Chain A
Amino acid sequence: MPPDGRPAPDSAETEASLLARAQAGDVGAFERLSGAYADRLFMLLVRLLGDRAEAEDVAQEVMVRAWRGIARFRGQSSDFTWLYRIAVNEANRALQKRARRPAGVSIGAGELELPAAPEEEPSRQAENSELRRALGQALAGLPPPLRTAIVLRDVEGLSTQEAAEIAGVGQAAFKSRLHQARLRVRAAIGDEALVSSGG
């Protein structure tokens, strides 16, 4: 069952029946099962990679890996957690590949900067747009393990247990990464800017 705010497969079929059919080789069932999480998964990749085009490519690879591995998925974790874990692994693999390129392309802070919510007042939008830009730059400057931790916990709003499982580390190690990430982002943005953002 997906946590609050996440879409469930949009049919009367249960996730269990879709999973059983997907594991038997029904690609349509797999698409419906994983398609329910595709938007969130894609945005996770954009945030981790900072590059929308690369995120599109990696998202396709995530689905291929999930499809090939679904027969061995035993449901110890939720299908959402399982897919997210594959996505984090693939994002890390892509970042390692990028780091090995001679002219390493740095992460694009602009891609991590997100549009203002439409219901915000214009003055608030301007302030928050500055803050979003600063947050995007600060996230882009984090080492991947720290970026993954803060994105999973604070942006995605996952529980520590869920986020640690997706990151592939124990909860104590995950918390250590999260706290380091927050301290670095705070230092990069500055207390005045954060406090005046009115959060």
Chain B
Amino acid sequence: MGMPGRTGDHEWSQRHLSHYVEGDLRPRARRRLDRHARGCADCGRGIRAMRALVYAMQGLDGLAGARAPATIFDRIRLAGPGPASSQNA
């Protein structure tokens, strides 16, 4: 396969890095990306970057001490009877 194929593989791989780390590629597609990334520094780094991104996003969940405001139920206390006077939720 000549350059057009490699270019096509590269663009395709770049578009599917998230699918790859998510495990959303079928085996044949995964092998295609693996094969391309072995010879492509950009895509190899792209896989590491995408994994790091997912890891970093998970780290944003470290919300120690985050508290809902004490006022969160104020309006339902003012609103009075609820379920009987229901609207679309």
| 180-194 of chain A: CB within 8 A of chain B | 182-183, 185-186, 189, 191, 194
CB pair B52–A114 under 8 Å, yes or no, is no
Query: How many inter-chain contacts with C-beta < 8 Å in the A-B complex?
Result: 158
Complex Cα gap A185–B84 (Å): 45
Contact with B along A53-76 (1 / 0, CB 8 A): 000100111011111111111000
Complex Cα gap A38–B85 (Å): 23
Contacts of A2 in B (CB 8 A): none
Given A63-B72, A68-B86, A197-B56, does the pair A186, B49 have CB atoms closer than 8 Å? yes
A30 within 8 A of partner (CB): yes
Complex Cα gap A33–B32 (Å): 49
Interface size band for A: 35 or more
23 contacts between A and B (CB under 8 A): A24-B83, A25-B83, A39-B66, A42-B66, A42-B69, A59-B68, A59-B69, A60-B74, A63-B75, A64-B76, A68-B86, A70-B86, A71-B83, A72-B89, A82-B89, A114-B63, A154-B54, A178-B18, A185-B57, A191-B49, A194-B53, A197-B56, A199-B54
Chain A residues in the interface with B (C-beta under 8 A) = 22-25, 27, 30-31, 35, 38-39, 41-43, 46-47, 56, 59-61, 63-73, 82, 86, 114-118, 128, 131-132, 135, 150, 154-157, 175, 178-179, 182-183, 185-186, 189, 191, 194-195, 197-199
